[in-house]
Chain A
Amino acid sequence: MSAWALSALIALPIGGAVAVACTPARRPGAARAVGLAAAVLTFVLAAWVWTAFRPGQSGLQFEERAAWVPAAGIGYHLGVDGLSVSLTALVALLVPLAIAASADQVRERSKPFVLTLLLLEAGLLGTFLAQDLVLFYVFWEAMLIPMYFLIALWGGPARRAAAIKFLLYTMAGSALMLLAIVAVYLRGGHVLGTPTFDLPALVARPLGWPPHVEALLFGAFAVAFAIKMPVWPLHTWLPDAYAEAPPVVTVLLAGLMAKAGAYGLLRFCLPLFPDAARAWGPLLAALAVVGILYGGAVAWAQGDLRRLLAYGSLSHMGFILLGIFALDVQAVQGSVLQMINHGVSTGALFLLAGMLIARTGQARTDAYGGLAAATPALAAVTLIVVASSLALPGTNGFVGEFLILLGAFQTRPLYTVLATGGVVLAAAYLLAFVGRIFHGPLRADLRGLPDLRPREYAVLAPLVAIILWVGFVPGPLLDRSEATVRALLRGPATSTEGPSRPAQTGSMASAARHAAPARPSPVRPDRGAADRRAVGGP
């Protein structure tokens, strides 16, 4: 089964979309049920992959290789490692929840809605699983079209402008990345002898770039990923898209698509361009700090609850970016964990926002007040999720942010001190958010609002469970990513363990690995022992 599990993961949502297309148009409930079934099946498979994943190995597992366009050096190469295994499971978890939640929130044209959602899921899963540059780019771009339609057709009043802004912004970044991919391919052809888009083969030995070329290509990749995350100052599409998209779609935008950007930085920028990553790391870390503080401050001032959460999400993504470019094992471990945490907590926050908006039709925070009296369960769940977002101990957010700050403090102390200001800001805007909506006297027009329904309990329960579980037992997640993160920061010369073995270019690439000189590693080499002690849980 493990020989085709990953292909099945991508194929299941596509098959589900086809099945949804075949349901009768008169019965939207059938479309949603079929879509939900496909998404749940996908989740079961993803959960199996997650449990069967062997921690402690840095290489790819569940690898699949097939010739795709051999004449052009493009291969069909899938695999999971520590960076992607939990993200894959997160995708498979959030999509069925979004479909289930959409039953109350998206009533018009629900059949094409579910269909598009499933296509988006296939794109997201492919993005996290692809190990070939072109295959990755195909999935990366293929996500955009479904997301464009989800915003443009089911969004709020200004949806068209928001959707096209999102599309053009992300396209512009990706377009340069495409050229950079081709440049890497051509260079790889010179250095390796065989032109290939295969990522493991390309990172197996240094490509020997001239520094300015490496910086340009690093920039092209980084900008594409930074737009997707987004990183300040490339975030200007975010508030419109997050606020105009239907809340269940924002769950996926903030919870999953943003992670694709952060994942791309780890998967491509660091191993392909280690020198440039080290050279430009301080700049990106500085941008991260600006984003943390800016996002937090602007979120505090928002009167629209989706915009508040959007800027809050921007601020939290800053921590992940800071952790990545701290180039420290602990910090990167924290970032990988925080990607999952942010997906869960931001996903839950937008789901809750969607439930509130579905009840009242109001998105402004001043339309609410004292709701805890009318909907105590909703208020309680929100408080737990906010606690996770605030990184209170006992929740998953604490583990992630603590690791990031701990690790980053050792390489970038100044930035880390500044970033802690963001933690304070988060407390300010999130508690203000909870206070304005749930506390105080209950507004007369909100009397009699229904509390959580069984379906909503079912949607929120898994997320709350994960928040608490990871808060107390972060080991399983951290163990899965540790070996890969270590190998990533150490460089490829010593990371020959693991089952990764290029098939078409096998003899060449493995010979290259043995022959390759020790590659400059983006992390200071003298800190291995300290990392080993600290990583693995606070």
Chain B
Amino acid sequence: MTWNDLAAAAPEAVLILTACAVLLQDAWATGGALEAERRGAVTTWLALVGVCVAAAAAAPAARAETAAFGGMYVRDGITRLADLIALGTAGVGVLLADGYVRRMRLPAGEYFALLLLSTSGAMLMAASRNLIVLFLGLEILSLPLYVLAAIARRSARSQEAGLKYLLLGAFATAFFVYGVALVYGAAGTLDLRALAAVPASPLLGGGLALLTVGLGFEAALVPFHGWAPDVYEGAPLPVVAFMSVAAKVGAFAGLIRVFPQALAHLAPTWGPMLQTLAIATMVLGNLAALPQTNVKRLLAYSSVAHAGYILIGVAAGGTAGTGAVLFYLAVYGAMNLGAFGVLLLLDRRGMEADRLDDLSGLAGRAPWAAWALGVCLVSLAGLPPTGGFIAKLYLFQAALGAGHTGLALVGVLTSVVSVFYYMRVVYTAFSGDAPADVAVHRNVMAGAALTAAAAGVLIYGIIPARLTAAVQQAAALLK
């Protein structure tokens, strides 16, 4: 390891150092008390500063790719965009969590430190050019998420969610490692560039299938999505908001690194597998979301469905597919954080107000929150003039361009189905009277986060030119 290696990995290094600082600062400030009354917001600001510094380190556009750690770690256009999306998610996640952590007396230092570590894991996955680094990233991403899911000590639901996530996640990771071993057996290398010359073999196919299980679990693809509804329902809302995006950023960055980038020559082998997964995920995610009356579960199935949409881009591959995935991840981050962000402003007698009815009459008492929710859900449904529409347009364009007409067809038809359940939530928020036992917590930081998310959704929808050019540039470096 040289200084150059460290300099290349500066964004991750900054996050990890900040995580340590946050943990120490909180320990000093609270004196180790478990449920301390928090007065200042130093911890939050410290975490935010860390995210901003990391973003500044990740932001400069790379003309050429920079490899480090003996070629195992690479910074190129994809790394840069994935890093910025992950850091944006972390920033909004921190802002959203501040008020909630205070209200629910969660341990702030641990919360923010874990969030930052998890972010660095997603970024490492996006920067990996070696299956071992990909595995490391996957672990660094998911271990903090297990703990975060269980961070509400007094909530049985949260404990259950954390345990379930951990057990199933451990399984999935084991599959992943076994897949890495099989790939090594078939190819004699773990370097993703070297894989590009490896001929197809049953052993390699088996390895790839197992890798897909591991990444598919993290992305919540059907049939590896079983954990998502329960964990989303049980985990504290700000954790879900962050997790639903960060895990997908990491997982899809990994999928791009492995399939369209390293194994483009084997597309006939893995293409049908990913297409089948995408179709199953879109159909099942959307159908399962239809009858939900718990908004967290509804959004859980919705995020399953969106994993299916993003997989369309991976299956299509090439510049168009990769660009579409990156664009979708950016938009998905904004809209999903916004949707969950509005929910966490509400509480029903000290509990999370996650029933559909709890939202009714929201427009009457918190019009801005209701509008933000409306914009984000309309975008999730893929309707213009929001980013969700443009993102889906690019995905379908990539799919049709690659000749996957069936995939695109399932994509648009399931989007129509999704309109039904998203509009049900929007309708509830804009009609009826507010229930008496549901309170709205106004919070400057969460307000800023929601404004950023909703504005992002609209900006990606109305003036998407810059992001489009950026993702195309990043994806064009693929070759």
Query: Are B400 and A182 interface neighbours, CB within 8 A?
Result: yes
Contact at A160–B427, with CB atoms within 8 Å? yes
Measured between alpha carbons, how far is A139 from B383 in the docked complex, in Å?
A: 10
Q: Which of A67, A137, A148 meets B384, CB within 8 Å?
A: A137
**CA A141 to CA B392, docked complex, whole Å:** 14
Q: Which of A71, A145, A167, A182 is in CB contact (< 8 Å) with B468? A: A71
Contact status of A145 and B378, CB under 8 A, knowing A69-B465, A183-B400 = yes
The reply to whether the CB of B419 lies closer than 8 angstroms to some CB of chain A is yes
Contact B383 A71 (CB under 8 A): no
Q: A145–B383 contact, CB under 8 A? A: yes
Task: List A101-146 residues whose CB lies under 8 Å from chain B.
Answer: 134, 137-139, 141-142, 144-145
Residues on B with C-beta less than 8 A from A171 are 416, 419
On whether the beta carbons of A67 and B465 are closer than 8 Å, the reply is yes
Q: Taking the complex as formed, is B389 at the interface, i.e. its CB lies under 8 A from any CB of chain A?
A: yes
Could you tell me the distance between the alpha carbons of A149 and B408 in the complex, rounded to whole angstroms? 29
Q: How far is the CB of B412 from chain A (nearest CB, A)?
A: 4
Task: Return chain A residues, CB-CB under 8 Å to B405.
Answer: 179
Within B381-413, which residues are at the interface with A (CB < 8 Å)? 383-385, 389-390, 393-394, 396-397, 400-401, 405, 408-409, 412-413
Please tell me which one of the listed residues B383, B427, B465, B468 contacts residue A142 in the complex, with CB atoms under 8 A apart: B383
- A449 on the interface (CB 8 Å rule)? no
Q: Does A175 contact B (CB under 8 A)?
A: yes
Interface size, A (range): 20 to 34
- Residues of A contacting B424 in the complex (Cβ-Cβ under 8 angstroms): 164
A172-183 Cβ-contact flags toward B at 8 Å (1 or 0) = 100110110011
* Chain B positions within 8 Å of A144 at CB level: 383
A319 to B413, CA, bound (A): 31
Chain B CB within 8 A of A30 CB? no
A138 near B412: Cβ-Cβ < 8 Å: no
Q: Are B465 and A168 in contact (CB under 8 A)?
A: no
Nearest CB on A from B455, distance (A)? 15
Asked whether any CB of chain A lies closer than 8 Å to the CB of B286, the reply is: no
Query: A141 to B415, alpha carbons, bound, how many Å?
Result: 13
| Cβ-based interface call for B423 (8 A) | yes
B378: chain A residues at CB < 8 Å are 145
What are the residues of chain B within 8 A of A71 when measuring CB–CB?
465, 468-469, 472
Does B385 lie within 8 Å of A142, measured CB to CB? yes
A67-B463 Cα distance, complex, nearest whole Å: 10
Confirm or deny: A70 has a beta carbon within 8 angstroms of a beta carbon on chain B.
Answer: yes
Q: Tell me the B320-336 residues at the A interface (CB within 8 Å).
A: none
CB neighbours (8 Å) of A178 from chain B are: 393, 396, 412
Q: Are the CB atoms of A134 and B393 closer together than 8 Å?
A: yes
| Cβ-based interface call for A153 (8 A) | yes
Query: Is residue A243 within 8 Å, beta carbon to beta carbon, of the partner chain?
Result: no
Report chain A residues within 8 Å CB of B397. Answer: 72, 182, 185-186
Bound-state CA distance A1–B306 (Å) is: 45
Candidates B384, B401, B408, B469; contact of A141 at CB < 8 Å: B384
Nearest opposing residue in chain A for B418, CB measure? A171
* B389 touching A175, Cβ below 8 Å: no
Q: Check B420–A168 contact: CB distance below 8 A.
A: yes
> B227 on the interface (CB 8 Å rule)?
no
In the assembled complex, A249 has its CB within 8 A of some CB on chain B: no
Q: How far is the CB of B243 from chain A (nearest CB, A)?
A: 29
Are A176 and B468 also in contact (CB < 8 A) when A145-B378, A148-B423 are?
no
Contacts of B383 in A (CB 8 A): 141-142, 144-145
- Asked if B384 contacts A153 (CB within 8 A), the reply is no
The listed residue (B396, B420, B423, B463) touching A179 by CB distance below 8 A is B396
Q: When chains A and B are docked, how far (Å) is the Cα of A175 from the Cα of B397? A: 13
Q: How far is the CA of A195 from the CA of B298 in the complex (A)?
A: 38
Chain B residues with CB under 8 A of A163: 427
In the complex, A175→B415 CA distance in Å?
A: 8
A68 contacts the other chain (Cβ, under 8 Å)?
yes
Category for how many chain B residues contact A: 20 to 34
Taking a contact as CB atoms under 8 Å apart, the answer to whether B385 and A138 are in contact is yes
Over the window 268-291 of chain A, the binary record of Cβ atoms lying under 8 Å from chain B Cβ atoms (1 yes, 0 no) is 000000000000000000000000
Q: How far is the CB of A237 from chain B (nearest CB, A)?
A: 14
- Inside 8 A of A185's CB, which chain B residues have their CB? 397
Is residue A152 contacting chain B, with contact meaning CB distance below 8 A? Answer: yes
Contact B384 A138 (CB under 8 A): yes
Question: A167 touching B400 by the CB < 8 A rule?
Answer: no
Q: Could you tell me if A182 and B420 are in contact, using CB atoms closer than 8 angstroms?
A: no
Residues on the A chain within 8 Å of B393, using CB: 134, 178, 182
In whole angstroms, what is the CA distance A152 to B430 when docked? 10
Nearest CB of B to A252, in Å? 19
Whole-angstrom distance between the alpha carbons of A145 and B378 in the complex? 9
Q: Complex formed: what's the CA distance from A139 to B385 in Å?
A: 8
- Say yes or no for B431: interface residue by CB 8 A criterion: yes
Q: How far is the CA of A72 from the CA of B398 in the complex (A)?
A: 11
Q: Which residue of A lies closest to B415 (CB)?
A: A175
CB nearest neighbor in B for A140? B384
Using CB atoms, name the residue of chain A closest to B473: A71
B394 touches A72 (CB 8 A): yes
Complex-state Cα separation, A68 to B384, whole angstroms: 15
Complex Cα–Cα for A71 and B397 (A): 13
CB-CB under 8 A from A168, the residues of chain B are 416, 419-420
Query: B416 touching A175 by the CB < 8 A rule?
Result: yes
Is B412 a contact of A153 with CB atoms below 8 Å? no
Residues of B within 8 A of A176 (CB): 412
Give the docked Cα–Cα distance between A493 and B397 (Å). 29
Bound Cα distance from A386 to B194, whole angstroms: 78
Interface 1/0 per residue, A237-264 and B, CB below 8 Å: 0000000000000000000000000000
Query: In the assembled complex, which residues on chain B have CB atoms less than 8 Å from the CB atom of A141?
Result: 383-384, 389
> For A70, what are the chain B residues with a Cβ–Cβ distance below 8 Å?
465, 469
A122 → chain B closest CB, angstroms: 10
| Also in contact, A186 and B394, with CB within 8 A (given A71-B468, A175-B412, A175-B413) | no
- Given A152-B427, A171-B419, A175-B416, answer yes or no on A182-B389 (Cβ-Cβ < 8 Å): no
Report the minimum CB–CB distance from B114 to chain A (whole Å).
38
Does B420 contact A153, Cβ atoms closer than 8 Å?
no
Per-position 1/0 for A62-74, Cβ under 8 A of B: 0000011111100
For A148, the chain B residues whose CB sits under 8 A away are 423
Most B C-beta atoms less than 10 A away, residue of A67, A72, A137: A72
Q: Are B384 and A186 in contact (CB under 8 A)?
A: no
Query: In chain B between 366 and 384, which residues have their CB closer than 8 angstroms to a CB of chain A?
Result: 378, 383-384
A239 to B420, CA, bound (A): 20
Question: Which of chain A's residues 181-204 have a Cβ closer than 8 Å to chain B?
Answer: 182-183, 185-186
| Interface hub of B378, B396, B397, B431 (most chain A Cβ within 10 A) | B397
| B465 & A68 in contact (Cβ 8 Å cutoff) | yes
Q: Which residues of A contact B271 (CB under 8 A)?
A: none
Within 8 A of B (CB), among A395-449: none
A139 to chain B, nearest CB (A): 8
Contacts A67-B465, A172-B416; A182 near B396 (Cβ below 8 A):
yes
Instruction: Determine if A69 and B464 form an interchain contact, defined as CB atoms under 8 angstroms apart.
Output: yes
Q: Cβ of A186: which chain B residues have Cβ within 8 Å of it?
A: 397, 400-401
**Other-chain residue from A164, A167, A172, A179 in contact with B408 (beta carbon distance below 8 A):** A179
Task: Pick 6 A–B contacts, CB within 8 A, sort by A.
Answer: A70-B465, A137-B384, A142-B384, A182-B393, A183-B400, A185-B397
Which 3 residue pairs of A and B lie closest in terms of their CB atoms, listed nearest first?
A175-B412, A138-B384, A71-B469
A141-B389, A168-B416, A179-B405 are known; give 13 further A-B pairs, CB within 8 A. A68-B465, A69-B390, A69-B464, A70-B469, A71-B465, A71-B468, A142-B383, A145-B383, A164-B420, A179-B396, A182-B393, A182-B396, A186-B400
Identify the B interface with A (CB < 8 A). Answer: 378, 383-385, 389-390, 393-394, 396-397, 400-401, 405, 408-409, 412-413, 415-416, 419-420, 423-424, 427, 430-431, 463-465, 468-469, 472
